[in-house]
A = this chain, B = another copy of it.
């Protein structure tokens, strides 16, 4: 991932509270569950910018995850209020990526990475160009 770090001023910020359901017997958040936190933050990013993902789907588009890269730096624990910071990067005509940084209550970073999405027509299952309004929304990041 190049360009602006997710902690740059342009990052979209969403908070997530860690539940018992998110943790494991090691006393920390189970590694797969950070992807859930990212989904929660992403949904609010879209909603915040005026186009809830449910409405994008209603237009016949889906944005499946095609790639995910995560680096786990420090463990998050039960009841932590995590700060999820997202920076969107349009990376092509029918694809975009969202870099993330998930911070612990003490400011340390628990997890960084990037998730890439395709823009797919639900009807054909084939990639289609990002509609202009979605592209604009994403570039607003």
A72 with B64: CB separation less than 8 A:
yes
Stretch at the interface among A2-10, A15-23, A93-101, A126-134: A15-23
A66 with B72: CB separation less than 8 A:
yes
B71 with A67: CB separation less than 8 A:
yes
Interface string of A23-55 (1 = CB under 8 A from B): 111111011110110011001000000001110
Residue of B whose beta carbon sits closest to that of A66: B72
A32 with B21: CB separation less than 8 A:
yes
* A69 CB-CB contact with B under 8 Å: yes
A71 with B66: CB separation less than 8 A:
yes
Roughly how many angstroms separate A66 CA and B62 CA in the complex, as a whole number? 30
A78 with B17: CB separation less than 8 A:
no
Q: Closest CB-CB distance, A47 to chain B, in whole Å? A: 9
Q: Within 8 Å CB of A91, what residues of B?
A: none
Candidates B25, B31, B64; contact of A25 at CB < 8 Å: B25
Chain A interface residues toward B at CB < 8 A: 17, 19-21, 23-28, 30-33, 35-36, 39-40, 43, 52-54, 62, 64-72, 75, 77-79
Q: Can you give 13 A-B contacts (C-beta < 8 A)?
A: A17-B43, A19-B40, A21-B30, A21-B32, A21-B39, A23-B24, A24-B24, A31-B35, A31-B68, A32-B33, A66-B72, A67-B71, A69-B69
Which 4 pairs show the lowest CB-CB distances between chains A and B? A32-B35, A23-B25, A54-B79, A31-B65
